[in-house]
Amino acid sequence: MKHLLWLTLFAVLSLTLGSCAPKPDQQTAIQERYLFSPDSLLVHIKTLSSDAFEGRRTGTPGAEKAKNYIIEKFSRLQVLPFVPDYQQPFSFTARDKTYNGVNVLGLIKGTQHPDDYIVISAHYDHEGIKNNQIYNGADDDASGTAALFAFAEYFEKHPPEHSVILAAFDAEELGLAGSHHFVDNSIVPLTNIKLNINMDMISRSDNNELYAVGTAYNDTLKEVISQYKNPENFALLMGHDGKDGLQNWTMSSDHAPFHKKDIPFLYFGVADHKDYHKPTDDFENIHPEFYNKAVKTVISIFSTLDGIRF
């Protein structure tokens, strides 16, 4: 009788536990919450902001090393070259000096609108070495550059409807020279570039706040951002567009040349922190949990916008 009771209890428990276990479609949904590898994201930002890259100043061996790192990762993540060998070289003069820069441009072909483009950008250059100190630029902007690889991982399982140009711009710190060259020498008609999503400083915030700039200039973008549901301990805010009394970031990074060409843009960034443009902007000072949420947020916003015809 005891054996019969135990068998009956085991059967009941098995049915109960089985009903609580995720079904195959539920398991897929749970797994797809992880749109990219958080560990890889941290490896990339740590590597690019290490002393080995010497602050990634435009035209230096450190910048060359960063360029090669980005190309290698794009290739490994099956990102197509948008230009030969991913490289768009350019020359410019800034501060009475001539520089040679290189934008790194990858392509993900769209499944529904292959001739319309969304440019997802970040700048890979930083301040280099000053007074024998390396300015590693972990937040500014190894954070955005590493996020480009997270997007590439996402696209492996979620191909975009629009074609996407993953743009690692050079010489942002020298007057946005790389992004200016990109739009002034556009490889595709500018009318075919429907949106720029720019990421510059997205890996740390004492208040867990990420700003989305650009909504003041486009009602569709404003609606999408306003409807975004924030994860716990994270806030996506609109502002810094010159219309709210806050510092105006409309022209502050590589989204500015797109805006000047009347191309809608969203700039994702955090408020300036104590290590901004200082040699202490190191990997050890980023906020990994916030950074992970920030990248997931930008990807989520992209996913929504990718389904809209601009």
- Domains assigned to the chain: 38-306 (3.40.630.10)
For residue 34, what pLDDT is reported?
A: 54
pLDDT in single tens digits along all 310 residues of the chain: 334 333 343 343 333 333 333 333 433 343 455 589 999 999 999 999 999 999 999 999 999 999 999 999 999 999 999 999 999 999 999 988 999 999 999 999 999 999 999 999 999 999 999 999 999 999 999 999 999 999 999 999 999 999 999 999 999 999 999 999 999 999 999 999 999 999 999 999 999 999 999 999 999 999 999 999 999 999 999 999 998 999 999 999 999 999 999 999 999 999 999 999 999 999 999 999 999 999 999 999 999 999 998 8
Q: Kindly report whether the global pTM for this prediction surpasses the value 0.95.
A: no
For residue 15, what pLDDT is reported?
A: 36
DSSP code string of the chain: -HHHHHHHHHHHHHHHHHHHSPPHHHHHHHHTT--S-HHHHHHHHHHHTSGGGGGG-TTSHHHHHHHHHHHHHHHHTTPEESSGGGEEEEEEEETTEEEEEEEEEEEE--SSEEEEEEEEEEE----EEETTEEE--IIIIIHHHHHHHHHHHHHHHS--SEEEEEEEES-GGGTSHHHHHHHHT-SS-GGGEEEEEEE-S-S--TT-EEEEE-GGG-HHHHHHHHT--PPTT-EEEE--SSSSSSPP-TTSSTTHHHHHTT--EEEEE----TTTTSTT--GGGS-HHHHHHHHHHHHHHHHHHHTS--
For residue 310, what pLDDT is reported?
A: 83
Q: Of all residues in the chain, what percent carry a pLDDT higher than 90? A: 87
